[in-house]
Amino acid sequence: MPQPLVWLVEDEQGIADTLIYTLQLEGFTVELFARGLPALEKARQQRPDVVILDVGLPDISGFELCRQLLERHPALPLLFLTARSDEVDRLLGLEIGADDYVAKPFSPREVSARVRTLLRRVKKFAAPSSVVRTGHFELNEPAAQIAWFGTPLSLTRYEFLLLKTLLLSPERVYSRQQLMDIVWSDAQDTFDRTVDTHIKTLRAKLRAINPDLSPINTHRGMGYSLRSV
C-alpha cells in the first residue's frame, strides 16, 4: 500500500525539519514547499492526500492558498499551522474550508495524529459510485460536487459536507449540535455560529442560481432542514 502523501507548506526550516522527520517516521511521504505559490502550481498536476500549511507564508496568505487549493481539489484535507490563535482566525480558517488548526508551539506527534484523523475522515466520507438526486439537487460524491438545477456549486469542503448531510435526508431537521457532530466531528475549536455562517453562505450560493427558491429551512429553536425542491 502506498504511503499517504503529505504536502508541508512551511517557510521556517527548523519547524519543517522536525515535522518531516516525525511524519516520515510515522509512515508518511512528505514533500516540502518553503513558499505557497510553488505548491499551488504543482496542484495543477498532482493532488496530495493532506496539506499542512502555515498561515504566515512569505509569498501568499495561508488563507488565500487554502482557498485556491480547494478550488482545484474541493475535498482536499487541509491542516493549518498558526501562531495566531484568536477565535477570529480559527473561525475564518474553518469557513474557507480548512479542516483543523494546530497552534504553535506544538508537538510534532500531535500534528501527525491530526493528519491521521483527517485521513480517517476522508475514508468515512468516501463516496459511493452512484450519483444521488434529491429534487433539483444532484450529488456526485466521487467528484465532491453538488449541482442545483444542473449548475455545479462552488463549495468549500465544509459547505459540501454540510449540504451533503442535509440533502441525503431531505425534510429531516438537524440541530446545530447534530450538524457539528457530523460535519465537524474532528475539528478543533468549532463554535456554535460556525453552522449558521455556513448555512448563510450556502443560501447565498443557491440564490445566485435560483433566487426564487430557498431550499434550506430554518426551524427556530430546533435547527435546519432541506426541502426537496
- pLDDT at residue 93 in the model: 57
Looking at the fold, whether 158 and 94 belong to one and the same domain comes out as no
Beta strands in 73-199 (DSSP E): 78-82, 100-103, 131-134, 137-140, 145-148, 151-152
- The mean per-residue pLDDT over the stretch 170-187 comes to 85
Whether the predicted pLDDT of 42 surpasses 80 = yes
Whether the predicted pLDDT of 26 surpasses 60 = yes
Which of 62-66, 205-209, 222-226 shows the lowest per-residue confidence on average (mean pLDDT)? 62-66
- pLDDT at residue 87 in the model: 46
Looking at the fold, whether 73 and 94 belong to one and the same domain comes out as yes
- pLDDT at residue 88 in the model: 47
| CB neighbours of residue 30 within 10 Å | 20
Whether the predicted pLDDT of 48 surpasses 90 = yes
- CATH assignment at residue 171: 1.10.10.10
Question: Who has greater pLDDT, 129 or 224?
Answer: 224
- CATH assignment at residue 32: 3.40.50.2300
Looking at the fold, whether 152 and 48 belong to one and the same domain comes out as no
Question: What pTM did the predictor assign?
Answer: 0.61
Looking at the fold, whether 117 and 50 belong to one and the same domain comes out as yes
pLDDT band at 91 (very low <50, low <70, confident <90, very high): low
Domain boundary among 124, 145, 163: 124
Looking at the fold, whether 151 and 172 belong to one and the same domain comes out as yes
Alpha-carbon gap, residue 213 to 67, rounded angstroms: 28
Whether the predicted pLDDT of 174 surpasses 90 = yes
52: containing domain: 5-124
Q: What's the number of CA atoms in the CB half-sphere (13 Å) around residue 60?
A: 19
Alpha-carbon gap, residue 202 to 160, rounded angstroms: 9
pLDDT mean across residues, the chain: 86
- The mean per-residue pLDDT over the stretch 191-200 comes to 83
pLDDT band at 133 (very low <50, low <70, confident <90, very high): confident
Whether the predicted pLDDT of 118 surpasses 50 = yes
Whether the predicted pLDDT of 29 surpasses 50 = yes
19 and 52 Cβ atoms separated by less than 8 Å = yes
